[in-house]
Each structure stands twice: as structure tokens, then as C-alpha cells.
Amino acid sequence: MQRHTVPATIAVLAMALIVYGLFRYPLPPWPLAALLVAYGTWLWRQSAAWLVVIPAVLPAYDLSPWSGWLVVVEPDFFILLTIAIMALRHRPGRADFWPGVRAARFAIPFFVCIAIGTLIGVLAPGPAGGSDNPYLTGWESVRLAWPCLVAIILLGFARARQRCLGDAMVWFGFGMVAGLAAVSLLAVAERLVFPGLLNLTQDYRVVGPFASMHVGGGHIGAYIAFSLPFLNVCLVHRRRWTMVLLAVVAVLAAYALLVTFARTAYAAGVVGAMVAAFGPPTVIWLRRRKPGTVTVLASIVPLLIGLGVVVVGLEDGLMSQRMRTVINDLNFRATNWVGGVNLAEATLTTRLFGMGLGSYPRVAASHLPANEGPSNYVLVDNEAGRSLAMHMKLRLYFGQKVWLDPGETYRVRLRARAPMPTSLGIILCEKMLLYSQNCTGFSQTLPADATWLDIDHDITAPGVRGDVWALENLRPLELSLGVQTGQTVEVAAVSLTDRRGAEHIVNGDFARGTARWFFTDDHHWSWRIFNQYLMTLFELGLIGAVAALLLGAAGFLGAVRGMGHGDPMAACLAPALAAIAVSFLFDAILEAPRLAVLFYLMIGFGLEYLTAPRPPAVPADSIKSRQP
């Protein structure tokens, strides 16, 4: 009886969290609920469905700029539903959650360090006066620990599938291709709507669905770079539709990588392509094996994509300009690396165990000068109801996506006050995430007596009024509040109405916290160390950093071992891990939980190759596998 009670309890809890989340969801919940029902129906019938859906929705489905949620995002609903249905319908055995003795030697120390780092991070103090910015509270530690727990659970499901049918990696590979296709299409759409598809000279770098880049980071470039090698799964399962899929997604992904204009992403893509091109034949030659047709083809595809992106990118005006500033930017990064590491306390405990997972923004906010570091915002209950106090350190904008008619005049109303003389900027811009275009607005001077000032002003929506349809009309609009550097402003009762009196701001009284409100920060250096290895050293200490390096090396060597046995999916995995290792040199990729889940899953798959006596060859028609 107990054997069935535990899975049922887990399923009930997961479903209860989903229902509660949909009830609290700031956007209309029906589209998300419909997608969950469709996915749940498929997963109930096909146990491998999650291996396609989860790697696809993790990078591609994030509406944070519209919902305002930072801790919980849409893919978390799919993860919870996966846990619920798999626990009921396709329950794995206990042994499936044990990675094997050899793999456990590398995995367990790292996850113990994550647990210790999470505890330290949750207990670490936040800013004086509190904060409703999750990045400056213990919620950031929970947010970054969640991917580790998710990966442990999902890898158990994957082992059960691999044990029964041996095709888990093929399904996962197609899931990575699906995610890459979705991200690439969204990048193409963003370019079409904003600078134009062929305008490669304007300083506009796509962000796609990676809302985690609202405080900087190169998440989209890193994702594309480590996803490209999985295109070779189309050569493992050779059918006419997979060849078409390979051709289409390869072109879209190459373009998306190109328009990131991220030098680190280019380097990661090239390294991944080189490992994919020369890794399998080299390892097979060392083992005196004969390379197969799939291996030869797999050597060509990623290399051609990588070389094409580099050639076109270096000829482009914007990218060639960025290449000329490499030395200066390296100096900036070196300053960031040294300064970030020096923020850690010089005690034996922190040296060994770190400052805590997700603690860097909090430490930076408390240790850097008053006009530097991450900005803060706090919800305040007072005589005017609920208000939002924004403590500006550098360049933060607090805004909400709105739907307005181009060229029409609207009325902005709000209340504001400040403890010192300053001004509040109210602007309406065409904005996806980082770049603001065609802005209109005004600036309001605030006195120093901390009394509420009623602001009532007309504002015109960007765009040209008329009946002629244009792509520019699809650009998202955002009403943003901006505060001068080093100042504090408190706002309440924000309203934006049209001539008919219809309200276009949701949660303007902040009764639902910061739901539907989203902030961006133009000073990206304050939020992270731009090096994942140093970031891990800061958060988890020397012990955690060594454990992380050993885990990553073991996963990569396991994938290389699989290549030596001629496993074509290992030939996808090893280049992906190599690309991630390069991205880690110049960015903190694991600060994005959606990417962290994929990384931990790939490390787990690599450890499986390390554990197995000899990885079995993946059948070409394994995508049509039967139920376990």
C-alpha cells in the first residue's frame, strides 16, 4: 500500500501547486491551461513525451515581461505536470533515481554543496529595510536550487525509459531541436518587428524569449551555441521529414546566433562545432574503430554552421566594430572578475563553502557604494494605500507592457513622493526587453518634503495613427517609471486611460504585489560575476567549485567515452558540453534556471555514458518506440 501512496501523494501535491499557480497567474490562464491539458494527455499515453516537451518549453516559453513573475515561470507548470503524471502513470523504480556508483561519486558531492549553499543563501541577510526584488532575497537561492532538484527527478524518469527501450537520448535530442527551432523563430520575429531582418548594422541584439536577460547576460547566445550539436539527431533518425527539419532549423539557428552579436556565443559555437567535427573521428580512430556514415555527416553539419556564422558575422559592420573593442572589454571583465571575487568575506567558512547560492546581488548591493550595485524596490503599506518605493542606484526602469493604439493620446495619473529633491521620468516606448525606441513621455520634478504629489499628464503612444498596417505596429509597448541615479521615489495609484476612460494598466495600485510589473537594468555589471567558474567559487566556495569542476569534467568525459563506442547521441552531447564550458568563461549562465535545468540534464546523461559498460547503439527508428 505504501508503495503506491507516496507517488500518489507526490502527484496530488504537484497538481495542487499547478491549480494554485493558475489561480494566481497574472495573465489570462486559459492558454496556459489548454497547453497543459494537451501535454498531459500526450504524456499520459506516451512516457517519452516529456523528453521532447520539457527541453522545448524551457528555453522558448517565458512571458515574464508580461506577467511580472520572476521566481515562477511558465515551464515550471510543465515540470510539475510531468512529475504528477509520471508518478501516477509511468512510475519509475527506485533504482532509476540512483545514477550508479561511479556517477554518484561525482554527483553527490556537488549536490551536497548545492544544498549547503542554498541554506547559507536563504539565511543570508537582504537589504536594510527589506526588498520585494526576488534577486535581493532568499528567494534567489531557492530559484537557483530548483533546477538541481528538477534535474534529479527528470533524470530518474529518463533512466527508466532508457532501461526499458534505450531511446531516451534520441527523444531528448529532438526536444532540443524543437526548442532551438522555437527560439530561432522568436529571434527572427523580433528582428522582423524591430530593426529588420537584413539590417545587420544597427546596434540591436536579440533576446528572444530569454526574459532573464533583463539584467544582462548572454543567455540566448549560449543556448543556441550548445543546442546546435543536437541537430545531428536528425541524422540518427534519418527520414525525409527529419532532413527537412535539419535544413530549416539549421538556417534559422545560424541566423539567430548571428544576430546575437555575442562574441562569447560565436566562440562557444565554433568550439562546439570543432568538437562535433573532429571529436568522434578522433576518438574512434584512437579506439581503432571504423567511423560510420552518421559520424561523417555529423562532422560536417555543425562545422558548416559555425564557419558560416563566423564568416558572415565578421563581415558585418556591428560585429566587426565589437571585435575591435575586445581588449577593452576584456579589461572590463577582468575588473569585474577581481572585484566580484573580492566581495566575498575572507573567512575560512566562506572560503570553503562560499557566500551562499544566489547571494551575489545581495552582497553587491550591500558592499558597493551607495550609487552602485543592484537597485531595489519595496512595497509599502501607508495612508495612501499600497505604494512602491524604488531605490535607484544606477539605471533601472520599472514598467508594464500595455496594448495601445499607435498615435493616440492617453492620460497618465499617479501619485509620487521623494525624501530628497529629484525627478520622476514617465516614458512610453516600443520595447521588447533591453532596447527602447520611439519613446514619448515627460519628467516630473518632485519636492523634498516627502508629501504626495498628484501627477496628471497626457502622453502619446508611439507609432503613426492610420489604417495602414505595418510590422512596427506589432512592437510591444511599455509604460516605464525611471528614477535618477542614487535617488528614491515612491509611487502609488498608477493609471493609464484612453479618451473613453478605459484603464490600460493592470494592478496599478500594487494590490497584487508587483504582478504584471517588470524591471530592467541597463547596468549589467552589478548583478553578477561574468564568469560562471568564479561565480560558483563565490557562491559555493572552494569545495563547491572543485565539486562542480569534477562533475562537469566527468559528464564531458562520459560523453567522450560514448563517442568512442560509436554512439551518435554522445556525439551530440560532448560538443554541447564543450560549448557550455566556453560560455562559462565569460558569462554566468546558471543564473538562468531554465538553462541550468538543461545543463544538469546533459551532465546527467554524460554520467550515464560514464557508468554504462558500453553504451548501446541507438536504433534509427527509435523515435517510434513502443510504451515501456
Kindly indicate the confidence band of residue 627, based on its pLDDT and cuts at 50, 70 and 90.
very low
291 pLDDT higher than 60: no
| One domain for residues 609 and 596 | yes
| One domain for residues 114 and 181 | yes
The answer to the question of residue 49 being in a domain is: no
Tell me the average pLDDT across 491-495.
95
- Which segments of 294-421 are extended strands (E)? 376-382, 385-391, 396-402, 409-417
Please say which residue of 499, 522, 545 terminates a domain: 522
Kindly indicate the confidence band of residue 237, based on its pLDDT and cuts at 50, 70 and 90.
confident
| One domain for residues 531 and 518 | no
52 pLDDT higher than 90: yes
Nearest Cα neighbor of 226 from 171, 264, 186 is: 264
CATH code at 427? 2.60.120.260
Taking the C-alpha atoms of residue 227 and residue 233, their distance in angstroms, rounded to an integer, is 11
Tens of pLDDT, residues 555-575: 999 999 888 887 888 889 999
| One domain for residues 172 and 252 | yes
Alpha carbon distances (Å) from 276 to 294, 304, 402, 431:
12, 11, 44, 37
The answer to the question of residue 275 being in a domain is: yes
Kindly indicate the confidence band of residue 330, based on its pLDDT and cuts at 50, 70 and 90.
confident
Tell me the average pLDDT across 458-467.
81
Kindly indicate the confidence band of residue 620, based on its pLDDT and cuts at 50, 70 and 90.
very low
Nearest Cα neighbor of 196 from 470, 395, 498, 411 is: 470
Burial of 370 (0-12, 13-18, 19+ CB in 10 A): exposed
Tell me the average pLDDT across 451-457.
92
| One domain for residues 395 and 305 | no
Burial 127-145 (b: 16+ CB within 10 A, else e): beeebbbbbbbbbbbbbbb
% of the chain at pLDDT higher than 70: 88
Kindly indicate the confidence band of residue 619, based on its pLDDT and cuts at 50, 70 and 90.
very low
| One domain for residues 163 and 286 | yes
Query: So what's the pLDDT on residue 241?
Result: 85
Query: So what's the pLDDT on residue 395?
Result: 76
The answer to the question of residue 28 being in a domain is: no
CA angle 33, 39, 41 (to 5 degrees): 105
The answer to the question of residue 43 being in a domain is: no
Please say which residue of 522, 555, 588 terminates a domain: 522
More confident residue, 281 or 159: 159
More confident residue, 182 or 232: 182
| One domain for residues 252 and 284 | yes
Query: So what's the pLDDT on residue 286?
Result: 60
Q: How many CB atoms lie within 10 A of CB 317?
A: 11
What mean pLDDT is reported for the chain? 87
The answer to the question of residue 627 being in a domain is: no
| One domain for residues 247 and 314 | yes
Tens of pLDDT, residues 58-81: 999 999 999 999 999 999 999 999
**Helix (H), strand (E) at residue 519:** strand 518-521
Query: So what's the pLDDT on residue 584?
Result: 97
Q: What is the pTM of this model?
A: 0.92
Kindly indicate the confidence band of residue 262, based on its pLDDT and cuts at 50, 70 and 90.
confident
% of the chain at pLDDT higher than 90: 59
Kindly indicate the confidence band of residue 312, based on its pLDDT and cuts at 50, 70 and 90.
low
Taking the C-alpha atoms of residue 127 and residue 136, their distance in angstroms, rounded to an integer, is 7
Kindly indicate the confidence band of residue 293, based on its pLDDT and cuts at 50, 70 and 90.
very low
Query: So what's the pLDDT on residue 535?
Result: 97
Query: So what's the pLDDT on residue 303?
Result: 59
Query: So what's the pLDDT on residue 189?
Result: 95
102 pLDDT higher than 90: no
10 pLDDT higher than 60: yes
1 pLDDT higher than 50: no
- Give the domain extent around 410: 376-464+472-522
Tens of pLDDT, residues 418-434: 988 889 999 999 999 98
| One domain for residues 480 and 577 | no
Query: So what's the pLDDT on residue 290?
Result: 52
More confident residue, 434 or 279: 434
Tens of pLDDT, residues 104-115: 899 999 999 999
Highest average pLDDT, of 28-37, 247-256, 341-350, comes from 28-37
| One domain for residues 497 and 550 | no
Query: So what's the pLDDT on residue 399?
Result: 94
The answer to the question of residue 603 being in a domain is: yes
| One domain for residues 165 and 222 | yes
Please say which residue of 483, 501, 522 terminates a domain: 522
| One domain for residues 451 and 498 | yes
Taking the C-alpha atoms of residue 234 and residue 245, their distance in angstroms, rounded to an integer, is 7
Kindly indicate the confidence band of residue 292, based on its pLDDT and cuts at 50, 70 and 90.
very low
324 pLDDT higher than 50: yes
Q: Is the separation of the CB atoms in 608 and 556 below 8 Å?
A: no
- Which segments of 347-505 are extended strands (E)? 376-382, 385-391, 396-402, 409-417, 422-431, 436-446, 453-460, 477-483, 488-497
Query: So what's the pLDDT on residue 628?
Result: 42
Burial of 318 (0-12, 13-18, 19+ CB in 10 A): middle
The answer to the question of residue 412 being in a domain is: yes
Query: So what's the pLDDT on residue 615?
Result: 44
Query: So what's the pLDDT on residue 304?
Result: 60
Tens of pLDDT, residues 126-183: 888 889 999 999 999 999 999 999 999 999 999 999 888 888 999 999 999 999 999 9
- Chain centroid to Cα 409, Å, comes to 36
Query: So what's the pLDDT on residue 83?
Result: 96
The answer to the question of residue 332 being in a domain is: no
Looking at the structure of the chain, the number of domains it has is 2
